[in-house]
């Protein structure tokens, strides 16, 4: 089968290769991939800035059809359309796994970097990590359920958006736009979206197209002043940081109201950076760090997309054959793509 493989350690080293079709073991199923989403993680593996074990097939975001059941598999049937939590190899018995936090188990090795992933014609997955897709969600949108589940986990489950909240989202990339839509679905009264000059071409117009009125360029306007005007000087109830930039992270404290919440999603490139700790202490705000997805966020993401409250289809700007991966990756680098899916 055709597959996009990270062949060796070091930057680059990606190629389309002919790989054997994997065989499902006990409790596993063979999936025929319908669409595979390209995520920041795939680019980090390409650039050698994320842990991975080569040679490995890229991709952890996918929609698929069940092709064949391994021994003992019974939760899904051949022909079912599914998506899957990338929590493969989680041990199942550590304190994190036993408290429902398999997503941060130290033994976890996800498809796309820890084990072979979804940018291929076929993928083997344990059946207990799969969720069925309703007919109303197409194949391309199915491939972005994983990042949508991220937004749902982070904004609804971790930071707990409340009815009537004023929310500020920093960084209008795919996760930022999904977080903004999730906050709105969770009852936020308004969502302000903050970007930079680099976001002016594609991402900020998309945010406006999605119905967000307050889209602010931090290099031209002062978000804190606009926010103060919109909230009667109080500030945002919830600030969702999706940029991972030092400036974005530091600005969360200025934007959040006293006793408000900061939801930290974007990962900075550096290990340490400046943070206005004292100002945060005087604001008595809560800081929620977020990583990956919970079991519950998957069903909720599927339901919110199916009912149209999160328009995940709107962020898919590219659906291209797997053969065209190089130009698709380049479009993501140039920020002319928001979310891209590859069709094997």
* Residue ranges binding Zn ion (CB under 5 A): 39, 90-91, 94, 97, 105
For the beta carbon of residue 219, count every other beta carbon within 10 angstroms: 12
Closest CA to 252 of 221, 211, 218, 219: 218
Reduce the DSSP state of residue 115 to 3 states and report it: strand
Cβ proximity to Zn ion: between 188 and 340 the closer is 340
Cβ 30 to Zn ion shortest distance, Å: 22
Q: In the structure encoding, which two tokens stand for residue 321, read together? A: 């054959």
Distance, CA of 8 to CA of 144 (rounded, Å)? 27
Q: Which is nearer to Zn ion, 150 or 251 (CB)?
A: 150
Please state the closest distance from residue 344 (CB atom) to Zn ion, in A: 17
Nearer of residues 43 and 343 to Zn ion, judged by Cβ: 43
For residues 82 and 135, the answer to whether their CB atoms sit within 8 Å is no
DSSP string over 137-182: S-HHHHTTHHHHHHHIIIIIIIS---TT-EEEEE--SHHHHHHHHH
Smallest gap from residue 162 Cβ to Zn ion (A): 27
Q: Is the preceding peptide bond at 55 cis, omega within 30 degrees of 0?
A: yes
Q: For residue 189, report the phi and psi dihedrals to the nearest 5 degrees.
A: -80, -25
**Cβ nearer to Zn ion, comparing 113 with 166:** 113
What is the residue-wise DSSP string for 205-233? HHHHHTT--EEEETTTS-HHHHHHHHTTT
* Burial of 278 from C-beta contacts in 10 A (0-12 / 13-18 / 19+): exposed
Nearest approach in angstroms of CB 62 to Zn ion is 10
Cβ closer to Zn ion: 105 or 315? Answer: 105
Instruction: Please state, in angstroms and rounded to a whole number, the distance separating the CA atoms of residues 125 and 197.
Output: 41
Rank residues 48 and 162 by Cβ distance to Zn ion and give the closer one. 48
Please, what is the minimum distance in Å from the beta carbon of residue 241 to Zn ion? 17
Least Cβ distance, residue 339 to Zn ion (angstroms): 10
Whole-angstrom distance, CA of residue 262 vs CA of residue 252: 7
Tell me whether residue 21 or residue 291 sits nearer to Zn ion (CB atom). 291
CB of 47 to Zn ion, least distance (A): 15
The pairing of beta strand 256-264 with beta strand 286-289: parallel
């Amino acid at each position: 089968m055709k597959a996009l493989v990270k062949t060796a350690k070091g930057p680059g080293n990606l190629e389309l290769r002919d790989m054997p079709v994997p065989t499902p073991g006990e409790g596993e199923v063979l999936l025929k991939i319908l669409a595979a989403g390209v995520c920041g993680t795939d680019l980090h593996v390409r650039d050698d800035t994320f842990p991975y074990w080569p040679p490995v097939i890229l991709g952890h975001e996918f929609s698929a059809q069940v092709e064949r059941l391994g021994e003992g598999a019974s939760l899904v049937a051949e022909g079912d359309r599914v998506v899957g939590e990338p929590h493969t190899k989680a041990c199942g018995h550590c304190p994190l796994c036993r408290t429902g936090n398999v997503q941060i188990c130290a033994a976890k090795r996800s498809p796309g970097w820890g084990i072979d992933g979804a940018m291929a014609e076929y993928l083997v997955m344990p059946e207990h990590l799969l969720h069925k897709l309703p007919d109303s969600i197409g194949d391309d949108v199915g491939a972005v359920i994983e990042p949508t589940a991220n937004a749902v986990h982070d904004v609804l489950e971790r930071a707990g958006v409340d009815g009537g909240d004023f929310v500020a989202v920093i960084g209008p990339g795919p996760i930022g736009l999904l977080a903004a839509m999730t906050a709105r679905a969770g009852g936020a009264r308004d969502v302000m979206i903050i970007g930079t000059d680099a976001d002016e071409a594609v991402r900020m117009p998309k945010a406006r197209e999605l119905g967000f009125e307050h889209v602010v360029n931090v290099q031209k306007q002062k978000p804190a002043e606009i926010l103060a005007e919109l909230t009667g000087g109080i500030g945002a109830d919830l600030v969702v940081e999706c940029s991972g930039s030092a400036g974005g992270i530091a600005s969360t404290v200025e934007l959040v109201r006293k006793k408000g919440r900061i939801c930290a999603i974007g990962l900075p490139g550096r290990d340490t950076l400046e943070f206005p700790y004292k100002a945060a202490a005087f604001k008595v705000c809560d800081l929620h760090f977020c990583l990956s997805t919970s079991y519950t966020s998957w069903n909720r993401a599927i339901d919110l997309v199916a009912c149209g409250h999160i328009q995940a289809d709107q962020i898919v700007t590219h659906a291209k054959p797997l053969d065209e991966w190089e130009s698709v990756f380049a479009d993501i680098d140039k920020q002319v793509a928001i979310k891209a899916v590859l069709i094997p």
